[in-house]
Structure 1
Amino acid sequence: MLVDVGLGIVFVAGIGFTAYMLMDSWGGASWVLTSVVSVVVCALALSREKQKALFAGAGVAVTAFAVAASLLAGDSLPQEPAPITALAMAVLVGSALRTLPIGAAAGIALGGVAVVFGAWLDGRAAVTFLATAALAVALVLGPVMRAIDHTSRISRPHDGDSVI
């Protein structure tokens, strides 16, 4: 719960900061798509415990939509995914890798990789590097946390078992 509160604070601050920076640099309504996508993916990340597979898949799909829109728009829109969207997608992918069955987790992870690959097609920029770094951390930490969870379940005594 405390992690989600911290994530929520980071998400709100990041969305606001990104919108402000886009208004200042790109002008016009350039910030709208980025902000809407960020709000949706962040909301999915914060609600991930309710429907892990569905919300993780939806978060990757919404991020993929944003990357595709950015690619199609060329220089008319800022490059996607925005840093906060990339962070939220990484949370979803990492959580999926930690908790979902292997097949579903692998599918979501591959979707995340495809999204980042699409961002690279749009060009090399700071957002691309940030999205790559966030996903790389999720691809490592998700399975590590899964292994830790598995190990702690094995080593923890069951009810009625002797601790000695």
Structure 2
Amino acid sequence: MERPRGPGGTLVNIGLGAVFALGIAFTAYMLIDSWGKAYWIFTTAIAVVMGALALLRERQRLWTAAAGVAVTAAAVVAALVAELPQEPSPMAALALAVLVGSSIRTLPVWPAVAIAGGGAGVAALAWASGPTGVAAMTTMLVVGGLIAGPVLRAFAPGPRSGVPAGESVTWPP
């Protein structure tokens, strides 16, 4: 279990946590205002779980990312079936993008490819309810993670990137 190194990692997580908290609160407010009733509870719960997984990504890299992909996919399907507000919410999509990008940056190649594929699958699944702003935003965020991950991996050689010291990193495999 490797924790974020130095004050930079801590500051990134503090900033990300603040963005998640404010974004989740704003999304809940907007859902209460537009959908009414208790529809906001499901979206808020999913966003909180996804935000927590994104903030815990350094502790169990593979399992937090796999759980994030699974939770988001299940939320998209549940929202479709139960006619809830479309998922993933903006903050859940951001958390998924963070998990996908971080996985590509830090995991060995094949687990990183699996997580990247899962993230792309969730983005594709978001389009199941039609072309919406939520689906477009999810796609843009996940594509951002798919781009940022390899770029950051290229500049982080060594054990932190899941590659033994002295070996080169190639992407795609």
Which of 61, 82, 91 is equivalent to 1:84? 91
Instruction: Tell me which amino acid in the other structure corresponds to 1:105.
Output: A
Q: TM-score, normalised by structure 2?
A: 0.84
Select 2:114's aligned residue among 97, 103, 107.
107
The counterpart of 1:149, out of the listed 147, 150, 156, is: 156
Whether 1:4 aligns to 2:16 is no
Instruction: Deviation per CA, 1:23-56: give whole Å up to 9, x if none.
Output: 0000111111100000001000001110000000
Moved over 6 A (4+): none
Larger Rg: 1
Q: 2:101 aligns with which of 85, 94, 100?
A: 94
The alpha carbon displacement at 1:125 in A equals 1.4
Q: How many angstroms does 1:122 deviate by? A: 1.4
Secondary structure of the corresponding residue to residue 114 of structure 1: helix
> Where in structure 2 are there 5+ consecutive unaligned residues?
1-9, 161-173
Q: Give the C-alpha shift of residue 150 in structure 1.
A: 2.1
1:28 corresponds to 2:29: no
Aligned residue pairs, count: 150
Calculate the aligned-residue CA RMSD, in Å.
Answer: 1.3
Match of 1:156 in 2: none
Aligned equivalents of 2:105, 2:61: Cα separation in 1: 10
Task: For residue 129 of structure 1, report the CA deviation from its aligned partner.
Answer: 1.1
Q: 1:40 and 2:43 equivalent?
A: no
Deviation track 1:99-152 (CA, whole Å, cap 9, x = no partner) reads 00111011011111111111011121111111111001100010010011129x
1:162 aligned partner:
none
Q: Which residue of 2 aligns with 1:50?
A: 59
Residue identity matched to 1:118: L
Question: TM-score when scaled to structure 1?
Answer: 0.89
| Structure 1 unpaired stretches of 5+ | 154-164
Identity of aligned residues (%): 54
Q: Paired residue for 2:169?
A: none
What per-residue deviation string (whole Å, max 9, x for no partner) do you get for residues 53-108 of structure 1? 000000111000100111212xx311110010000000000000000011101101
